[in-house]
Amino acid sequence: MEGWEKVIVSDKSFTQTVHGKMGCVTCHGGNGKVDDKEQAHTYIIREPVAEDVCFQCHVDMTNETNSLHSSLRGYTTVLQDRTSAETLAHIEEEAFGNHCSSCHTSCGQCHVSRPTSLGGGLTAGHKFKKVPPMNLTCTGCHGSRVDMEYKGKNEGIPADLHWNKIGMPCFNCHTADEMHGNLDYEANHRYDGSASKSCLDCHNDVIEGSEIAQHQQHISEFSCQVCHAAEYKNCYSCHTQKNDEDIPYFKIEPSIMDIKIGYNPIQSEERPWKWVVLRHVPVDPDTFAYYGDNLLPNFDNRPTWTYATPHTIQRNTARTESCDSCHGNTDLFLTEDDLLPYEIKANKDVVVDKSDIPYNQ
Amino acid sequence: MKYLNKLYKFSKMNITIVLIFIMAGLVIGCGTTPTSIPTPKPTEIGEAVIPSPTPIPVSSPTLIPTLEPIEVEEIVVLLPTPTTMAVMLLVDDSCIDCHTNRERLIATAEEIEDIEELSEGEG
């Protein structure tokens, strides 16, 4: 977007809307009485603070502190596991701000504009969109994995059935309450608590009355994705750093499309399955090495192959073709042979014992 | 003759008044017995308790600053601006005028620097 495109208000009828009637300076500050650009923008607030503005009216709409999009606690949760108190503080001092916190999202960055991490810009001439435009907000940030997988942008991998067949938007599964943190539990990670919507909420015929024998045989031990996800993206070796002009950047190895079945690292009442698909996340013992030595001293506390819900769902996959697609297929399961030397300990709970891989039928 | 009559009447009235005063004096002086006047018994007087004097606060003298006389050429009295009601009117016509004017936004937009993408790989 050009600079002017980002800030153009569609037309003056905006002033007659509920938000428009409040006047620009109420939320954005500045001086609305002068024509001079510099003077008008004195003390301008580009992104109004939710507590000062939005929450004055939308009192019960959002529990911002429990919204992962706002709190970024998903990041701190995994960092806490892999760091010590001292090294976490060191990371939070600079590296976190340089490489992680830009993913923060506020009310306006979904309902009015594109997220700042994408360069910002009004999405609909400053109209407030009750349902944010998915392609400019959700997949604007969640692009390389979710967007490319869901819409079939990875070469040779079809789009997710839910997109391909019926064009389901993100919000059909990821509810406003989930986004806004209005949950009956404290959200420290995206897989805390029960899913907003699970597969069985819609496909409840799979449990009872299914004509497919494998559903009856496997549904209690397998997550749906084990059979119905197509290949998904796995990332490796992210390294953060800054250039000579103090501009932060990262380098990451080319991603790999693959499927690996392993043990469920977060087995619980909500996610009871023994077998799930696992995705490799790009963390590396030296991810923050630029900022100091051994900043992830407890790297082994979390697996690098993590619980995943890929957005590549298909009715038919290679695994649904026959029993032997899985039974006896050691390549499909995550074994120690798949691990890099530095991550063997970290993945000890999810890597599959070869003796546990089912035999050919 | 009239004068002699008036004088006669006046003398007669004065004599009557004098007689009345003499009679009253006799009645008062002779008709009452003298009354004994009670004498108060002497009271023993102990040590007198004299209340201590209450200190009276004395305010310290106020220093009155001496001001240099200022020469004022013109006295300006600032009166409050009259307001019709206690409502903040948000005048931001300029904001909306400019931000709905495509040509003006293009003309006043600052050029966005092309920042070289340093990161490699998918984020």
Domain locations in chain A? 198-361
Average pLDDT, chain A: 94
Across the range A214-230, mean pLDDT stands at 94
Q: What ipTM does the predicted assembly reach?
A: 0.83
Tokens standing for B104? 């003006």
The pLDDT assigned to B115 comes to 75
Query: In Å, how far from its chain's centre is CA A188?
Result: 13
Q: Which of A201, A177, A326 is nearest to A270 (CA)?
A: A201
- A200 phi and psi angles, rounded to 5 deg: -75, -15
Question: Which of A8, A21, A141 should be substituted to probe chain B, the one whose Cβ sees the most B Cβ atoms within 10 Å?
Answer: A8
- Residue-level pLDDT at B116: 79
A104 pLDDT tier (thresholds 50, 70, 90): confident
Residues 200-259, chain A: which have Cβ within 8 Å of B?
233, 235, 238, 243, 247, 249-255
- Residue B36: CA atoms inside 13 Å, Cβ hemisphere, count? 3
Residues of A in contact with B109 (CB under 8 A): 2-4
CA nearest neighbour of A285 among A321, A236, A230, A233? A236
**What 3 state SS string does chain B have?**
CHHHHHHHHHHHHHHHHHHHHHHHHHHHHHHCCCCCCCCCCCCCCCCCCCCCCCCCCCCCCCCCCCCCCCCCCCCCCCCCCCCCCCCCCCCCHHHHHHHCCHHHHHHHCCCCCCCCCCCECCC
Q: Calculate mean pLDDT across residues B115-121.
A: 86
- What does chain B come to in residues? 123
The reported pLDDT for the residue numbered B20 is 75
Is residue B54 very low, low, confident or very high in pLDDT (cuts 50, 70, 90)? low
Residue contact B90–A144, C-beta within 8 A: no
pLDDT band at B33 (very low <50, low <70, confident <90, very high): very low
What is the DSSP pairing of strand A305-307 with strand A248-258?
unpaired
Residue A129: how many other CB atoms lie within 10 Å: 14
- Enter the pTM of the model: 0.78
Beta strands per DSSP E along chain A: 232-242, 248-258, 261-263, 275-280, 305-307
Are B110 and A26 within 8 A, CB to CB? no
A32 contacts chain B (CB < 8 A): yes
Q: Shortest Cα distance from B98 to chain A (angstroms)?
A: 8
Nearest CA in chain B to A24: B92
* Residue B63 pLDDT > 50: no
Q: Give the Cα separation of B24 and A172 in Å (integer).
A: 128
Q: Are A189 and A74 in contact (CB under 8 A)?
A: yes
- The reported pLDDT for the residue numbered A321 is 95
**A235-290 pLDDT per residue, tens:** 999 999 999 999 999 999 999 999 999 999 999 999 999 999 999 999 999 999 99
How far away is chain A from the Cα of B77, in angstroms, using its nearest Cα?
A: 27
- CB distance A73 to A187 below 8 Å: yes
Instruction: Compute CA distances A283 → A237, A292, A297, A308, whole Å.
Output: 6, 16, 13, 15
Name A196's Cβ contacts closer than 8 Å, sequence gap at least 6.
A173, A174, A175, A177, A178
Give mean pLDDT, residues A130-143.
Answer: 93
Looking at residue A358, its pLDDT comes to 87
pLDDT band of residue A207 (cuts 50, 70, 90) is: confident
Half-sphere exposure of B81 (CA within 13 A, CB side): 3
Query: Smallest Cβ distance to B121: which of A37, A126, A252?
Result: A252
A130 contacts: CB under 8 Å, gap ≥ 6 = A111
Task: Give A192's pLDDT tier (boundaries 50, 70, 90).
Answer: very high
**For chain A, how many residues are written?**
361
Pairwise CA distance, residues A210 & A221, whole Å:
16
What mean pLDDT value characterizes chain B?
62
d(CA A46, CA A55): 17
A245 DSSP 8-state letter: T
Residue B67 C-alpha, separation from nearest chain A C-alpha, in angstroms: 41
The interface residues of chain A toward chain B in range 82-121, judged by CB-CB distance below 8 A, are: none
pLDDT at B78: 61
Give the distance from residue A219's alpha carbon to the nearest chain B alpha carbon, in angstroms.
Answer: 34
